[in-house]
Structure 1
Amino acid sequence: MKGFAMLFPNPIARLRKAHYALEDLPDAVTFPKHPARESDDPLPLEDTTVDDIAFAIVAADQESIAASNRASALKRLYKMAREAGAIGIDPAVKSALKGSAS
């Protein structure tokens, strides 16, 4: 294992290389915004505690949900515009509005 550590001196890089499920580990983590605090700067992953990871999971889940909601809304807009007869070069919002007025 000594050779492995020499090839990958960074502990995060070693984890990524040793465990394929950890390939997407970030270099730093962010936390959910707390109403009573200024926003926290990202914390280097190497400096995080187990509790920090738990809070980072909450933040990542919130980001994932927000991204999923945006994707769903965009898909719905696309579908509404197409159902209103829009083609690729037509403005999506105007087309969707036109279709919902009928």
Structure 2
Amino acid sequence: MSEVENEEIAMNIKNLVRLFLEDKEISRIYIKFKEPLKIRREDYEMLGKPDQSEKIYPDEDRYEDWFFRDSKKKKLKIYYFKYCEDGDVFIKDIQGWKEA
């Protein structure tokens, strides 16, 4: 997945989170991926439920796991999104935290 694709995904999620926080009518948001994630059986416990959608619940823990498949390397990259009170979203990847 290219840096541009990562930035586009981050911006889309940031916009969804902002919409979620502004519109009290929305109770939850599901992110649906184009293809199901394929996770090896031995990675199941480490990665959690291998589902193709993840939920955002801002009222609960502000850290959620997002699983993106790197199509070139055929491996999973795990990004952690941190939602701050002011609406900013930070992404943690192998390089550390950066603003979305």
TM-score range, shorter chain: under 0.3
Which has a greater percent of helix?
1
Higher relative contact order (CA 8 A, sep 6+): 2
Q: TM (normalized to structure 1)? A: 0.24
